[in-house]
Amino acid sequence: MKTYEKTKLNRVKRGQKRATYDVEKINTILDSGFIGYVSYVYKNRAITLPMAYGRKDNKIYLHGSQANRMLLALLEAKEMSMTVMHLDALVLARSGLHHSVNYRSVTLFGSVKKIEAPKEKDKALFYFMEHMMKGRWDGIRPMHKKELDRTLVVEMTINTASAKIRDVGVGDEPEDYDLNVWAGLVPLKLVAEYPIADEGIPTKMDIPKHVLEYYEQNKG
């Protein structure tokens, strides 16, 4: 089992029993999502923004315009942190202070560099698209050079990471279990609804196999 080394940077201090540093488990959580929360500093102000991402091995790929202030700030800092979180259930307890949520979260720490070579950019955007929907890359037109030139692509190498997972039931005080108060879990999940074609030619086309496969795998 490959794990990230515990350091002052990635060690989970509160709720240590819920922490894991297992690389495979962390990658599984990353691959189950598509939006990460990226933190950066702009003009001495801390800012966090949601960003779509792609993953390949220990690399995370982000992209935006050449003037994207967040990506430019990350490149200037040469390092970044990103968090991905999945909310799995509301935990309704007998006491207000024991209400909680079940979740899977990962926090990444790593170094950052700009991808400039056209072939490397193309490859990074392939990983991004395949992370969003497997098979999608082969169903779209090739990118124009001018599009690539306008796009800033950033690669993060994951140097260390940790995950925190809560996947258990209610944790009430022993004396509260005899109270006449309903307690339990309300499971939550993100689901895909049936694909809707864009106007024009797509309305006359069959829905591509990779889109239907994604729907089948993620429908409610």
Instruction: Give the pLDDT confidence of 15-24 residue by residue, as tens digits.
Output: 889 999 999 9
Contact 112, 189 (CB under 8 A): no
Residue 220 has pLDDT above 90, yes or no: no
Helices (H) and strands (E) in the chain, counts: 5, 9
97 contacts: CB under 8 Å, gap ≥ 6:
none
Residue 97, both tokens: 């202070």
Residue 14 has pLDDT above 90, yes or no: no
Q: What is the pLDDT of residues 77-111, one digit of tens each?
A: 999 999 999 999 999 999 999 999 999 999 999 99
Question: How does residue 1 score in pLDDT terms, banded at 50, 70 and 90?
Answer: confident
Question: How does residue 6 score in pLDDT terms, banded at 50, 70 and 90?
Answer: very high
The arithmetic mean of pLDDT across residues 127-137, rounded, is 96
Task: Please give the pLDDT value at position 96.
Answer: 94
Task: Please give the pLDDT value at position 178.
Answer: 94
Q: Which residue has the tokens 């949601």?
A: 50
Residue 53 has pLDDT above 90, yes or no: yes
